[in-house]
A = this chain, B = another copy of it.
Amino acid sequence: MLSDVPDLTAHLGYWLRQVSNHVSHAFARKLAAKDVTVAEWALMRVLYGEQPTSPSRLAEHMGLTRGAVTKLADRLIAKGLIARQANTSDGRAQTLELTAKGEGFVPELAALADQNESECFAHMPDDDRKALERILRDAVARFGITAIATE
């Protein structure tokens, strides 16, 4: 006889994943039309309006390894959206920054983010939207999450 195994749907984690994946995939499809991935967008968004930033700082801020940042950066450099520069005072250090092309692109991608947000949540009653945001923010604080999730 089979043990009593709870249904998948018994878990909040399940419902979170269902909704989060739907929203993220919808956004990923919009970005793909501009030949950008969600991780690439996140890195560009982080650099927007900031001073040139080292891969290490970006890795920490985005919860990635330095190797992962290098790979992501290589792709964005190949697309002409960011630039890598040597630090003058420390021969080991590098910095990453948006190119003019990348900087001009960010608002366009941000508009897609807004569009996705509204397509996904406009239907939701105002009270629910507020409650959801509050509960999620509380959870992030409780979990002690400091890095931004790119996946």
Contact = CB atoms under 8 A, between A and B. Distances in A.
A62 to B, nearest CB: 11
A21 interface: yes
B136 A15 contact: yes
A138 B128 contact: yes
Report copies per complex: 2
Contact of A110 (B5, B20, B120): B5
A48 B15 contact: no
Given A13-B27, A17-B149, A132-B132, 14 more contacts: A3-B110, A8-B42, A8-B148, A11-B117, A12-B121, A12-B129, A13-B23, A13-B117, A15-B132, A16-B23, A18-B148, A20-B21, A22-B149, A128-B138
Interface of A: 2-3, 5-6, 8, 11-24, 27, 42, 45, 48-49, 103, 106-107, 110, 113-114, 116-117, 120-121, 123-124, 128-129, 131-133, 135-140, 142-143, 145, 148-149, 151
